Amino acid sequence: MRKILIATTAAMLAAGVSLVGASAAEKLKVGFIYIGPIGDLGWTYQHDLGRLAVVKEFGDKVETTYLENVSEGPDSERSIEQLARAGNKLIFTTSFGYMDPTLKVAKKYPNVHFEHATGYKRDKNVSTYSGRFYEGRYIQGIIAAKMSKAGVLGYVASFPIPEVISGINATMLGAQTINPNIKVKIIWANTWFDPGKEADAAKALLDQGADIIMQHTDSPAPMQIASERGKLAFGQDSEMIKFGPKSQLTSIIDNWGPYYIERVRAELEGTWKSEDFWGGLKTKMVVMAPYTNMPDDVKKLAMETEAAITEGKLHAFKCPVFAQDGKEVECKGGTHLDDGQILGMNFYVKGVDDKIPGK
């Protein structure tokens, strides 16, 4: 009943537009699907900050709706479709596992636009977007090598997907510019968000002699462990300084707000097109938290590196890049590896003493 009512109203409004003009335009409905709770203080929290930025920017012109804690299984397709049916014209699906469900629903709703985070499949009405987090990792590698007394970094990793592997590699390439013999110990937590497991991994890494903790999982637990043990650490996804005021060196912050605002604006102006957006430090999709708990010279070096990457003078994967077995990796991007090589990265660089799980 309600649906019919809404449909009729919409039809009447559409008919009326020619008479009364644009003032009768409806609010643009924008939907978001989240993998975690908005209070996870990590991945989902940052996406929700992006949503709130949209609300702040456009006020009455938009109406946002989100569904949180949507599992990547059979429920996600229904959840996405529910948002489309409820009249959302632009829908952000913010986890990799929503890729196929997003495409399936997009086929059924050709007039609705979809934005899928971190995926690689697109369609006429499906865009993809992600952050060049490896740029931040390179800076972290440099800081870590400067700050580590043991020369051993501890890395809490999630899944051996290209994004995580390129993060490990970028860290090592950055660290090797300071200390060619730097070591990294990796623990695969096999989860994105599980504070218990993440904490255990961080403890194990510290017990094995690492003195700097890095993480590619989403909770603040590793930071808290480092803080308890008086060690240094890097945050992930969000500003985590309050979990380790004496520990956090910096944090890679996912800053989705500007992108979400830009896409909503395109939708409002009718200029939305399907595209693949991969933003880094330059477009501020990746932002570094303030450099803290380090001497001034390290801070200066970090800021110089950040500036060089932002200006395009420095690339984390500048050629030559050597693989774990010592062979040089083909340099498809001219002076650095090209985006395809980074997006599909499935090898370690020289100096990583680990094996990619399942390979």
Contact range with other proteins by CB under 8 A, out of 155-163, 197-205, 309-317, 330-338: 155-163
Q: How far is Cα 144 from Cα 136, in angstroms, rounded to an integer? A: 12
Q: How many residues bind other proteins (CB under 8 A)?
A: 37
Contact range with other proteins by CB under 8 A, out of 63-71, 171-179, 209-217, 347-355: 63-71
Contact range with other proteins by CB under 8 A, out of 75-83, 234-242, 269-277, 319-327: 75-83
Q: Which of 126, 124, 63 is nearest to 100 (CA)?
A: 126
Q: Which of 65, 176, 274, 310 binds other proteins (CB under 8 A)?
A: 65
Residue showing tokens 């060619």: 180
Under the binding rule (CB under 8 A), the answer on residue 120 touching other proteins is yes
Q: How far is Cα 116 from Cα 79, in angstroms, rounded to an integer? A: 14
Neighbours of 207 (CB within 10 A): 10
Q: Which of 69, 176, 310, 324 binds other proteins (CB under 8 A)?
A: 69
Under the binding rule (CB under 8 A), the answer on residue 93 touching other proteins is no
Structure-token pair, residue 148: 């580590």
Under the binding rule (CB under 8 A), the answer on residue 21 touching other proteins is no
Under the binding rule (CB under 8 A), the answer on residue 357 touching other proteins is yes
Q: Which of 161, 266, 308, 319 binds other proteins (CB under 8 A)?
A: 161
Under the binding rule (CB under 8 A), the answer on residue 300 touching other proteins is no
Q: Cα–Cα distances in Å, from 342 out to 244, 268, 336, 345, 347?
A: 31, 33, 10, 5, 10
Q: Which of residues 184-243 bind other proteins (CB under 8 A)?
A: 190
Under the binding rule (CB under 8 A), the answer on residue 355 touching other proteins is no
Shortest reach from residue 71's CB to other proteins, in Å? 5
Q: Which of 34, 62, 30 is nearest to 48 (CA)?
A: 34
Q: Give the SS3 label for residue 241.
A: helix
Q: How far is Cα 31 from Cα 82, in angstroms, rounded to an integer? A: 10
Cβ contacts of 75 within 8 Å, gap of 6 or more: none
Residue type, 313: K
Q: Write out the residues near other proteins by the rule CB under 8 A.
A: 1-3, 31, 65, 67-69, 71-75, 77-79, 81-83, 85-86, 96-97, 100, 108, 120, 159-162, 165, 190, 344, 346, 356-358
